[in-house]
Amino acid sequence: MSINSLILRNLKKNLRNYYLYVFALIFSSGLYFAFVTLRYDKAMDPVEGSIKGGAAISTASILLLFIVAVFLLYANTIFIKQRSKEIGLFQLIGMTKNKIFRLLSAENAILYFGSLIIGVALGFAGSKLLIMILFKVTGVEGIASLSFSSRALLQTLIVFLCIYALIMLMNILFIKRQTILSLFHVKSKTEMTARKLSVFQVIIGVFGIALIAVGYVVSGKLFDGDFSSMIELFGAMFFILFCVILGTYLFYKGSVAFLVSLIRKQKGGYLNIKQVLSLSSIMFRMKSNAMLLTIITTVSALAIGLLSLSYITFYSAEDTAYNYTGGEDFSLLTESDADTFRQAMDDNNIAFTEDKAEVYTVQLNIDDILQTELELNFNASMMDTAVISEKAAGVDVAPDELKLTGYNELLQRFMSLKDEGDVTVHGKETETALHYTGLEDEYPISNYYTMGGLPTMIVDDALFQELKQDINPDLNQGYHWYFGYTIDDDAQLQRANDLFNGLDLEARDNSESRIDILEDQKSTIGLTLFIVGFLGLTFLITSGCILYFKQMDEAESEKPNYTILRKLGFTTTDLRRGIQRKQLFNFGIPLIIGLLHSYFAVQSGWFLFGSVMLTPMIVVMVIYTLLYSIFGILSVVHYNKVIKQSL
Amino acid sequence: MGILEATRIQKNYGNKFNKQEVLRGVDLSIEEGEFVGIMGSSGSGKTTLLNVLSSIDRASGGTILIQNNEITNMKENQLAEFRKNHLGFVFQDYNLLDTLTVKENILLPLSIKKVPKKEADRKFEEVASQLGIMELQNKYPSEISGGQKQRTSAARAFIHEPSIIFADEPTGALDSKSASDLLNKLSSLNANRKATIVMVTHDPAAASYCSRVIFIKDGQIYTQLNKGQQERQAFFKDIMSTQGVLSGVQNEH
């Protein structure tokens, strides 16, 4: 048999075993090429130019490259380890190491560059799809026509050639280091030796869980005012990261084994098949893979966290836009502007609802109701606050009572208010003592008055009239009216918006249209969301593949165990159930830890990004979990095959 | 009626163009409480015979009855069911799960049968003390010696009181001290528990512990020896000389 036919035969055999490797290669090269194509495309110019997306895209492409490289190198280690016996055999029949290396390289090259070509082709097709999605989410108008970029192709080829060179280097080192004898033994050398749990490990285990818990607790307090300066805040963030990552590592190194051994101890040596296959194997394997699992968990947590945060921003855009306009479609500030607007709507037969309020600014002393205080440049005894009458707000307020409404989530974190307390309103000359009774969610007036989410005061109408007489003119030089309009028929909203934008208004700059704000927000966040989503998907697929490869490897080394168990009289169904349980742990533990990490990360700072947390976060987590479980299911399928062959 | 009745067992490998007959019609009958040795040179088919008898491999022809259960045409799941109730195994390479402790390994067959935990513990103590591995119970296989592993493996085979225990070269990987130690334990278990043991071996010394030795040559039973009232030494000499004839070399003793 000539070398060439040997290569071809090996290839055929390996293709069947490593379809996922090939898939991963195709996928990662496709993804990379699509990304680079996007980067060099003219259609992207407005996006890149508008928000300095260029920098974001190149950072993302470097990160992407890094993930792909690590992933391919890892896949290769498993790939070559599985073939160590074959390499030993070639050596035994007198092939030189160089010749074996050439054989492997040729084989790898066909597989690698074949996948690369397919990947690039798919990537080009995919980039069209991507750019359409991108324009859809950002709302940037553009022609979704892409030209084939030779620059992108060149970059992709160079990058993947470098990775190929690295892989070859790894193979050389592997082959050079091995002797014939050791090659035959690589597989049988298990990566673990079962030993009794030492006291040291118990300590590590408990310490790991404790570290994670400390990290979580501190993360919950991050913005509660305990850390008031920027340096302290960064220090705390670093501390959390350190605790959680080290904790995760120790968790895999010791805690899993510790918890499992507690369960086993309680069983008194009497384990059923599910426990035999799941508990005992996990106990030792997690320990020896602690590093890998920590990386996977951290990467997943990062991906889920980033995806959640960007989705929170995107999802909250609608809310933010409503808060800007005081809960209406359009907000205006003067009587004459309102007239112009109403006229324009009437002329075009667009029905609308009006909502108006007279607004003044007074100074409010909130010293008594302030719960926490950061060291900010802010005077709590003289806070400029917009005031409206109970009539305009549509709520009932007693004469000596004060209600606040529409307080931005983010500001609330830095300056949280008590549930009730005494406050003083400063007019020009008089001071009025009022009893604060609570915070409402509504935003009754537009952003012009609330300045990005400061609360609005609602007082008794009689008091409002008094305050109006005693207004401090220094604080009230601008507008005094708020007009909000909601278009009755959603279908006419776009036309109303066009008309609104064509109007000649006095207070043009401070009049808002909700859908314009929304679109503006989306185009800002859209690109970030797109890039993060892209990277998140890559994280997901690479970490899923790595776990799957790991399981393939593990299945191979556990095959003798299945043989024993089947000889003892366990049916394949018994074994399958045990394996399902095992995979639930193998994939479930890193996933759950990753989800928990990202939950606490998002929890600690989500209000910096938007106004709704739960729904967008859950959506991201559910989608992530579903995609991730595909790899778990694939691995169970692979195990079933191994079990079937084991007797 | 013996506990195991095999008639005209055949086992072929390969396809119809290139057929390799490993077993060519073996008839075998084993009584309850017997300790039977199967001997033969490499390639004689003794391990295949054991695998076929123990339902791990399927026979190409013939019938096998164990306690009046016909196992030759059972389905895969029925076989597993049968194995867990009626058979015990001891292998040359121990076949212990290295992620389980000695005790967990030994209790495995009971956990398949869902024996109550208390009873399992009682049985464990009984068999472990007989084999002298009580104090090892919380150790992992990687922490104990080969002889101890093989005794663990034997304990696992005996614990659920199977009808027959199949042992495939159980002393193959042991030094002579551990080997004789194990064989003594096996024969005392055979005597005390009335356990039926079928052991494949190529070591005449190991075979001399048996009550009967069957010699296989080229897939057929060549002859068999009964120990009867003989001393082990005398039986050993008989076995040696038979083996000499079998391999075509005249024994000098």
Mutation target vs B (from A201, A270, A279, A582; most B CBs, 10 A cutoff): A270
Closest by CA position to A3, among listed A91, A100, A112: A100
Q: What percent of chain A has pLDDT over 90?
A: 10
Contact B100 A280 (CB under 8 A): yes
- CB-CB contact of A115 with A22 (8 Å): yes
pLDDT of residue A146: 59
Structure ipTM: 0.81
A281 close to B (CB below 8 A): yes
Picking from A268, A272, A281, the nearest residue to B121 by CB comes out as A268
> From the CA of B66, how many Å to the nearest CA of chain A?
15
What rounded mean pLDDT belongs to chain A?
81
Say how far apart CA A310 and CA A333 lie, in whole Å. 33
- CB-CB contact of A228 with A376 (8 Å): no
Bridge partners, residue B26, by sequence = B9
Q: How confident is the model at residue A47 (pLDDT cuts 50, 70, 90)?
A: low
Picking from A276, A572, A573, the nearest residue to B97 by CB comes out as A276
Say how far apart CA A353 and CA A484 lie, in whole Å. 8
User: In one letter, which amino acid is B146?
Assistant: G
CA distance between the termini of chain B? 38
Higher pLDDT, A378 or A248: A248
Say how far apart CA B43 and CA A548 lie, in whole Å. 40
Q: How confident is the model at residue A594 (pLDDT cuts 50, 70, 90)?
A: very high
- CB-CB contact of A509 with A478 (8 Å): no
pLDDT of residue A457: 85
pLDDT of residue A373: 56
> From the CA of A563, how many Å to the nearest CA of chain B?
9
DSSP-assigned letters across all residues of A550-586? HHHHHHHHHHHHHHHHHHTT--HHHHHHHHHHHHHHH
Helix (H, G, I), strand (E, B) or coil at A590: helix
> pLDDT of B209-225, one tens digit each?
999 999 988 888 888 88
> pLDDT of B154-178, one tens digit each?
888 888 888 899 998 888 888 888 8
Closest by CA position to B112, among listed B148, B154, B159: B159
> From the CA of B187, how many Å to the nearest CA of chain A?
22
Structure tokens, A386: 């917009």
Least confident of A522-526, B59-63, B175-179: A522-526
> From the CA of A166, how many Å to the nearest CA of chain B?
36
Say how far apart CA B186 and CA A202 lie, in whole Å. 39
Q: How confident is the model at residue B1 (pLDDT cuts 50, 70, 90)?
A: low
> From the CA of B246, how many Å to the nearest CA of chain A?
32
A194 interaction partners in chain B (CB closer than 8 Å): 98-100, 140-142
pLDDT of residue B36: 92
Picking from A560, A561, A570, the nearest residue to B80 by CB comes out as A570
A569 interaction partners in chain B (CB closer than 8 Å): 80-85, 87, 109, 112
Taking 70 as the threshold, does the pLDDT of residue B232 lie above it? Answer: yes
Mean pLDDT of B198-218: 90
Instruction: Please state whether the predicted TM-score (pTM) of the whole model is above 0.80.
Output: no
Taking 90 as the threshold, does the pLDDT of residue A619 lie above it? Answer: yes
> From the CA of B55, how many Å to the nearest CA of chain A?
9
Residues of B with CB under 8 A from a CB of A: 56, 76-77, 80-85, 87, 89, 95-101, 103-104, 106-112, 114, 117, 120-121, 124, 137-143, 156
Say how far apart CA B153 and CA B147 lie, in whole Å. 10
B87 interaction partners in chain A (CB closer than 8 Å): 569
What are phi and psi for residue A270, nearest 5 degrees? -105, 90
> pLDDT of A259-270, one tens digit each?
888 888 887 778
> From the CA of B231, how many Å to the nearest CA of chain A?
35
pLDDT of residue B198: 92
Picking from B56, B117, B139, the nearest residue to A270 by CB comes out as B117
> pLDDT of B91-125, one tens digit each?
888 888 888 888 888 888 888 888 888 888 898 99
Structure tokens, A31: 């993804």
Is residue A642 classed exposed, middle or buried when 0-12, 13-18 and 19+ CB atoms within 10 A define those classes? middle
Closest Cα in chain A to B101: A269
Mutation target vs B (from A286, A567, A575; most B CBs, 10 A cutoff): A567
A264 close to B (CB below 8 A): yes
Taking 60 as the threshold, does the pLDDT of residue A189 lie above it? Answer: no
Mean pLDDT of A170-199: 69
pLDDT of residue A246: 92
B33-58+74-247 falls under which CATH superfamily? P-loop containing nucleotide triphosphate hydrolases (3.40.50.300)
Say how far apart CA A646 and CA A151 lie, in whole Å. 51
A567 interaction partners in chain B (CB closer than 8 Å): 56, 83, 89, 95
Closest Cα in chain B to A281: B99
Contact B107 A273 (CB under 8 A): no
CA torsion, ordered A131, A137, A142, A148, to nearest 10 deg: -10
Higher pLDDT, A79 or A213: A213
User: In one letter, which amino acid is B15?
Assistant: N
Helix (H, G, I), strand (E, B) or coil at A545: helix
Closest Cα in chain B to A646: B56
Closest by CA position to A579, among listed A598, A565, A596, A591: A565
Taking 50 as the threshold, does the pLDDT of residue B43 lie above it? Answer: yes
Closest Cα in chain B to A282: B99
Helix (H, G, I), strand (E, B) or coil at B181: helix
- CB-CB contact of A483 with A356 (8 Å): yes
Least confident of A193-207, A577-591, B183-197: A193-207
> From the CA of B29, how many Å to the nearest CA of chain A?
23
pLDDT of residue A377: 58
Residue count (chain A): 647
Higher pLDDT, B2 or A346: A346
Closest Cα in chain A to B104: A269
Residue A501 has a CB neighbour count (10 Å cut-off) of 11
Bridge partners, residue B7, by sequence = B63
Q: How confident is the model at residue A542 (pLDDT cuts 50, 70, 90)?
A: confident
Q: How confident is the model at residue A143 (pLDDT cuts 50, 70, 90)?
A: very low
Say how far apart CA A329 and CA A331 lie, in whole Å. 7
A228 close to B (CB below 8 A): no
- CB-CB contact of A597 with A219 (8 Å): no
> From the CA of B237, how many Å to the nearest CA of chain A?
35
Picking from A192, A273, A571, the nearest residue to B77 by CB comes out as A571
Structure tokens, A473: 């003119």
CA torsion, ordered A206, A207, A212, A213, to nearest 10 deg: 70
Higher pLDDT, A375 or A336: A336
Mean pLDDT of A76-82: 78
Higher pLDDT, B249 or B71: B71
Maximum average pLDDT range among A192-206, A434-448, B96-110: B96-110
> pLDDT of A307-334, one tens digit each?
898 888 888 888 888 888 877 888 888 8
Contact B87 A569 (CB under 8 A): yes
Say how far apart CA B137 and CA B149 lie, in whole Å. 11
